Amino acid sequence: MAMVIQNNIQSQGFVDTFNGDISSFLSIDNFNKLKEIMRPKVVKAGTHLFWEGEKAEKMYFINSGQIKLRTSTEAGKEFLLGIKEEGSLLGEFGGCDDQVFYTYRAEVTESGEVSSILVSDLKKLLYQFGNFAVEFMNWLGWMNRVTQTKLHDVLFYDKSGTLASTLLRMSHSYGVKCSDGILLNIELTNKEIADFIGSTRESVNRLLNSWRKAGFIDIIGKQIVIIRPEELYSLCDSLSC
């Protein structure tokens, strides 16, 4: 199973909800069409683009800054669904359904600029330009596969396997080669990592410390260096999936 996961990562990028670069799926001409209906605005850290439960009338393209997507259960348990940065498109798109609501909240964690896109304007582009519609659907399908991959991790791996798989996926979104291995060039607290995999900070602390002692990873401040990725792959292999 680990080899299958590794091949998927290498062939598909195994990219997580950290990135969603719509321009990679649209031609230059179609991306320009999308930019024509964008309305840019400056956003400040600590504010929100939208809240869970609000009617989803807009999507958002990130020009700069960082947005964290979060949700919580009725019991108050927090989940970090993804981290979006420059080039990402986020929001809810329900196709012909006009009664679509945001299923998470979007928190601005680094000030920057985002462009709002009215879903009604986006639908006009889809109706008018067939090739734009195909490319947009390709992006939407890719995003759905990312979600399915995360659900697979949570449902079929224990916390060790889920964390290992998450770090491997992060390495392809944020990985930078360094002398010791692969540096995850993003700062996350252990609480945020725990929220990302539906675990507790204490569990993540224990796992990361044990992997650090075993020489699988190193931790520099709030950044992780993957030293022996093959060991993380083996954790996915050793678990029921």
| pLDDT tens readout for residues 131-156 | 999 999 999 998 888 888 888 887 77
Confidence of residue 20 (pLDDT cuts 50, 70, 90): low
Domain ranges of the chain: 22-152, 157-237
Kindly tell me if the per-residue pLDDT of 220 is higher than 80.
Answer: yes
Biggest CA-to-CA distance, the chain: 58
In angstroms, the Cα distances linking 121 to 9, 58, 115 are 35, 9, 13
CA angle at 53 for the pair 48 and 59, rounded to the nearest 5°:
55
As given in the structure block, the two tokens for residue 156 are 């079929």
Q: What pLDDT is recorded for position 13?
A: 34
Mean pLDDT of the chain: 87
Q: Which fold has domain 22-152?
A: Jelly Rolls (2.60.120)
Q: What pLDDT is recorded for position 46?
A: 96
Q: Please identify, in words, the CATH class of the domain defined by 157-237.
A: mainly alpha
Q: What is the pLDDT of residues 40-87, one digit of tens each?
A: 999 999 999 999 999 999 999 999 999 999 998 888 888 899 899 999
Q: What is the pLDDT of residues 156-210, one digit of tens each?
A: 788 899 999 999 988 888 888 988 899 999 889 999 999 988 899 999 999 999 9
Q: What pLDDT is recorded for position 237?
A: 62
The DSSP H or E segment spanning 53 is none
The DSSP H or E segment spanning 191 is helix 190-197
- Under 8 Å between Cβ of 232 and 239: no
Residue 15 pairs in a beta bridge with none
